[in-house]
Amino acid sequence: MNTEYLMGEGSSAQRSVLPNGIRVITETMPALESETVGIWVDSGSRDEAQPAAGSTHFLEHMLFKGTPTRSARQIAEAFDRTGGDSNAVTSKEYTCYYSRCLVDDVPMITELLWDMVLRSKLDESEFERERGVIVEELAMAADDPVDVLYEAFDALVYRDHPLGRPVGATREQIRALEHSTLLDHYSHDYVGPRLVFAAAGGASHDEVVSLVDRATRQLPEVGPDSGRQLRPHRAVPEFAGGVETIRKDTEQQGIIFGVPGLPEGHPDRFVLTVLFALLGGGMSSRLFQTIREERGLAYTVHSIAGRYTDSGQFGIYAGTSPGSAQQVVDLVIDEFALVASEVPGEAEIADIVAQVAGATILGLESSAARMNRLAHAELSRIPLESPHDLLQQVRNVTPEHVTKLAARLFSGPHALATVGPSTSLVLPG
């Protein structure tokens, strides 16, 4: 078994690869009595073939429905008994099953998670019952104008690319999904080299590795390069501009204006973080002050960003009255254009850098945040940086860096998605 330190010799983050190809990544936080653990699958909705649309999210539901030794109720009771937080999430590039618990409960939770992930029964009658649950979940999302807006924006900018599809697919696709397709997905994706176990908290690396090894010995040994060979080819998307309008009888008009962003691991990602905060990252941000405080046009206005292994998006979300919507769009674009053409003042960027630096360190006091960053770095195949290095990267950002990046992003395609009563919004110019 190969073990290495991830942030230099003697660091608190370590990585081991078991003979079955499972990667175990931990960060020890000695003062904590708790631990956040998660099994991450290197597979998301963008990896689905069209006939299998929705199978990644459907499978996430099914793994809570029982194993040969545990019923669905027993799984739920075991999680609840710890008093912590347990759940699962499906994204466009990965699936995760996680739990936060006391260090004393880590052995039980680790065995429980692996029992679910490796020995799920995937019973066909449960599959049919859960089909109805997922259709209702999608119906609930369809009633939420914010969910509809974000899905409309992705569909607009990624068009026919898999990143443009909803993670959970459509209700029609779920109704058509076959049980055999789900089984094929499970057997192909839930294999050693595509599985990562990430943990952060009071437990030691050796203890966690031993627990994972004991729980996964049923898997066959694999070669060291199998993980890279097993991920399917992912076609790189192109960001498309334009306007997508969905009419919905709501009190507010939801708006997303966006431009191409940066992929995970891009060298300018820290500059983007500062730009994010400058335009819409808090109460003192330019757009919050301009749109909410000075003009009273919106309750909520903030930056958004999506990062994938090979692409990204950056933009602004706002909710406003239909009659003010075009004015808000114009103000967003004017402010973005200003940052792209005029270098901000040193004092303004210094304040933003201090804000981002503080948020970075405060965020790392959470075991869940540390577990997430361990897994994201592993799945994205980018180096894990120490808190000191993260701070230094943020503090190295200058006003000129911000304007240069803003100009580059703003020069790309512009996209506008909107949901609400108004159907007349346009992109200026």
Q: Are 39 and 96 in contact (CB under 8 A)?
A: yes
3-state secondary structure the chain: CEEEECCCCCCCEEEEECCCCCEEEEEECCCCCEEEEEEEECCCHHHCCHHHCCHHHHHHHHCCCECCCCEHHHHHHHHHHCCCEEEEEECCCCEEEEEEEEHHHHHHHHHHHHHHHHHCCCCHHHHHHHHHHHHHHHHHHHCCHHHHHHHHHHHHHHCCCHHHCCCCCCHHHHHHCCHHHHHHHHHHHCCHHHEEEEEEECCCHHHHHHHHHHHCCCCCCCCCCHHHHHCCCCCCCCCCCEEEEEECCCCCEEEEEEEECCCCCCCCHHHHHHHHHHHHCCCCCHHHHHHHHHCCCEEEEEEEEEECCCCEEEEEEEEECHHHHHHHHHHHHHHHHHHHHCCCCHHHHHHHHHHHHHHHHHHCCCHHHHHHHHHHHHHHCCCCCCHHHHHHHHHCCCHHHHHHHHHHHHCCCCEEEEEECCCCCCCCC
The catalytically annotated residue of 60, 126, 151, 335 is 60
Kindly state the tokens that stand for 230: 């097993």
Q: Name the β-bridge partners of 418.
A: 245, 255
Active site residue 60: yes
Catalytic residue IDs? 60
